[in-house]
Structure formats: structure tokens, C-alpha cells
């Protein structure tokens, strides 16, 4: 095990939210896509709740032009709280204060959205020389199937960085980052030997897709500083992970993948976002029964 790995508790989470969110325009013209509601809570709040549940109580948002909505959501709204208090609406009062009390939230601005790798590099000052977790609001992990604790175990055992993988049908691999892997003696852990961002189906080195949870060694910052713009002219986190995968363990290198087989909701494009909203809403005890009844009737009449 690398010396860097021993005894370093993971405490900090980074949530990038500075992308243009072009796939959701015009909804994302004045707010980050991470603020889109999934049923009645912004996607980013699910992600912060997941981080906090895993013991990460220090959360850094990487924000862009439209950070106002984000900041306001995680801040107090005294006027609204007063109105609810006067009405005696304790349930909703709890809802609006919940997001404020979740974690210690910090913000750093990414001047220009030059890519996910560049967004992560913006976290360097805040993170320092500690391992940290990056969570993307595009992927919501069901709280009944947490994955961060397993990723932390793997980091504690082997050091280096740990990414989260999911088996997907070969024909959809071109939507994701895809690793070349070597098996280990643990069924749910693989060694990542290489990575390709959104490969053509024929070139995909495995049937694993990288999903939006990364436990990164701080060595990633030095690598990102040297990473040139890649696919789409963006500084890609995938390219930095590729370099980390080849680096020696005593320099913070090595990348392992944990294979996630739990429930995940994809909110990254319009169709998968709508599917996720419907799935989660159907499971809710307050609105689920009514929605399911309507949905069955609606589906039965679809052409």
C-alpha cells in the first residue's frame, strides 16, 4: 500500500456545477442543470445528501455564471421561513431549512467552463493534499444502495484513486467513459489500466461505463495542470485518470474501479431525466399511488 493512502480520512466532496447544460436549454439559461428538480428537490441536493451520508461534511461547489440559484438554495430564506412559521406549516419549514443545515458548503468559481477536468482543478486550493470525492449531479445513487463507503474501503486498502463503474449494454457505451480493466480477487473491484472517453462501440475496451462518482488522490491536480484539452476541446477528467492509472503507487498513482450494481437514476439528458423523475415519483408514498394509477391508464392508451 502507498504511504500516501494510510490514515488519510476522506472528508471533502467536490460537486461541479459550472457546465453550460446545453442539453436542457432553455431551462438552464439562468440556472445550472444541477438545480433541475427531480420530483421536488434539485438534483444537487440528492448528491449533497449522499455525500453527507458517507461522512463528507465539507462540500465545495464549482460554480459558473448562474451560481445564484445554487447559493440561494443552500442558504437561509428568512422571509419564507417566517411565512411558513406563521402558517404553522412545520413540514414545509423543515423542507426549506434542510438544505441549509446539511453540510459546510463552499463555492469556487470556474471562470470559463473548459471541461470537467478543469472544474476539478479549481478545487485544488480548498482540497490541499487530501483525497476527496467528486460527485456529478447527472447520476443519482439510490440512498438504499450507497457506493461511496465501498469506494472509501478500496482507497483505504490500496491507495490511489477509485472510480465507479456500471455494466451497460455495449451499444450505449459510446455515451460514457469506458475503462480497460484487469480483474482482481474481489468480484466488485477491478484495476483500471486505461480509459477512453465515449468510444465507438467497436473500440470499447470493456462493457463498463464510468459513472459520476470519483474518489481522487490529490496527485490528480498535478496531472490536470499538465492535461491538454482533449475530446470536444475540453480538459477531460478521463484523460487525467488515464495518466494516474499508469503512475506508480508511491506517487499517488493507480486507479481501481468499483462495480456498482445498485439503483441509479440518470438525469444527464432529457429522456433519462424524465424517466428518473417518474421512477422516483412512483416510489414516493405521498404522490406515488395517485401517479401510478394515472400512469397505467395513460400508458394503456398510448399509440
If the CB atoms of residues 190 and 235 are measured against ligand UTP, the closer one turns out to be: 235
> Cα–Cα distance between 287 and 114 in angstroms, integer?
40
Residues 95, 86: contact at Cβ < 8 Å?
Answer: no
Closest approach, Cβ 293 to ligand UTP, in A, equals 34
| Tally of CB atoms within 10 A around 167 | 12
> Cα–Cα distance between 132 and 124 in angstroms, integer?
10
If the CB atoms of residues 14 and 154 are measured against ligand UTP, the closer one turns out to be: 14
> Cα–Cα distance between 140 and 61 in angstroms, integer?
17
* Chain positions contacting ligand UTP, by CB under 6 A: 16-23, 33-34, 62, 110, 113-116, 118-119, 136-138, 268
Torsion of CA 235, 238, 240, 241, to 10 degrees: 170
3-state SS class at 273: helix
Closest approach, Cβ 241 to ligand UTP, in A, equals 14
If the CB atoms of residues 271 and 302 are measured against ligand UTP, the closer one turns out to be: 271
Closest approach, Cβ 106 to ligand UTP, in A, equals 15
If the CB atoms of residues 16 and 257 are measured against ligand UTP, the closer one turns out to be: 16
Q: Indicate the residue whose CB is closest to ligand UTP.
A: 19
Q: Do the bridges between strand 132-135 and strand 208-216 make them parallel or antiparallel, or are there none, so unpaired?
A: antiparallel
If the CB atoms of residues 158 and 273 are measured against ligand UTP, the closer one turns out to be: 273
If the CB atoms of residues 148 and 154 are measured against ligand UTP, the closer one turns out to be: 148
If the CB atoms of residues 20 and 282 are measured against ligand UTP, the closer one turns out to be: 20
> Cα–Cα distance between 64 and 61 in angstroms, integer?
10
> How many Cα atoms sit within 13 Å of 43 on the Cβ side?
27
Beta bridge partners of 60: 14, 106
Q: Is 103 left (phi over 0), alpha (psi -120 to 50) or beta?
A: beta
Closest approach, Cβ 78 to ligand UTP, in A, equals 29
Closest approach, Cβ 291 to ligand UTP, in A, equals 27
> Cα–Cα distance between 154 and 103 in angstroms, integer?
25
Closest approach, Cβ 55 to ligand UTP, in A, equals 22
If the CB atoms of residues 122 and 190 are measured against ligand UTP, the closer one turns out to be: 122
Closest approach, Cβ 118 to ligand UTP, in A, equals 6
Residues 243, 195: contact at Cβ < 8 Å?
Answer: no
Closest approach, Cβ 43 to ligand UTP, in A, equals 9
> Cα–Cα distance between 279 and 163 in angstroms, integer?
26
| Tally of CB atoms within 10 A around 157 | 13
Amino acid at each position: 500500500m502507498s504511504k500516501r493512502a494510510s490514515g488519510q480520512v476522506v472528508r471533502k466532496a467536490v460537486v461541479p456545477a459550472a457546465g453550460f447544460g446545453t442539453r436542457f436549454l432553455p431551462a438552464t439559461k439562468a440556472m445550472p442543470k444541477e438545480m433541475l428538480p427531480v420530483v421536488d428537490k434539485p438534483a444537487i441536493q440528492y448528491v449533497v445528501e449522499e455525500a453527507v451520508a458517507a461522512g463528507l461534511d465539507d462540500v465545495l461547489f464549482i460554480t459558473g455564471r448562474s451560481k445564484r440559484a445554487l447559493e440561494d438554495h443552500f442558504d437561509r430564506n428568512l422571509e419564507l421561513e417566517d411565512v411558513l412559521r406563521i402558517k404553522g406549516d412545520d413540514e414545509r419549514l423543515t423542507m426549506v431549512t434542510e438544505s441549509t443545515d446539511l453540510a459546510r458548503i463552499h463555492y469556487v468559481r470556474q471562470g470559463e467552463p473548459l471541461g470537467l477536468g478543469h472544474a476539478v482543478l479549481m478545487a485544488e486550493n480548498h482540497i490541499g493534499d487530501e483525497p476527496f470525492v467528486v460527485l456529478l449531479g447527472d447520476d443519482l445513487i439510490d440512498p438504499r444502495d450507497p457506493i461511496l463507503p465501498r469506494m472509501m474501503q478500496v482507497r483505504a486498502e490500496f491507495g490511489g484513486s477509485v472510480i465507479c463503474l456500471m455494466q451497460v449494454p455495449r451499444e450505449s457505451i459510446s455515451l460514457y467513459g469506458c475503462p480497460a480493466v484487469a480483474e482482481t480477487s474481489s468480484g466488485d473491484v477491478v484495476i483500471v489500466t486505461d480509459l477512453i472517453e465515449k468510444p465507438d462501440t467497436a473500440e470499447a475496451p470493456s462493457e463498463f461505463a464510468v459513472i459520476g462518482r470519483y474518489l481522487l488522490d490529490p496527485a490528480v491536480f498535478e496531472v490536470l495542470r499538465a492535461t491538454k484539452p482533449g475530446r470536444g476541446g475540453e480538459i477531460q477528467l478521463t484523460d487525467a485518470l488515464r495518466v494516474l492509472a499508469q503512475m506508480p503507487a508511491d506517487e499517488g498513482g493507480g486507479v481501481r474501479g468499483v462495480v456498482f450494481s445498485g439503483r441509479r437514476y440518470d438525469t444527464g439528458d432529457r429522456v433519462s431525466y424524465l424517466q428518473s423523475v417518474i421512477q422516483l415519483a412512483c416510489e414516493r408514498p405521498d404522490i406515488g399511488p395517485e401517479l401510478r394509477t394515472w400512469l397505467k391508464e395513460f400508458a394503456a392508451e398510448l399509440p
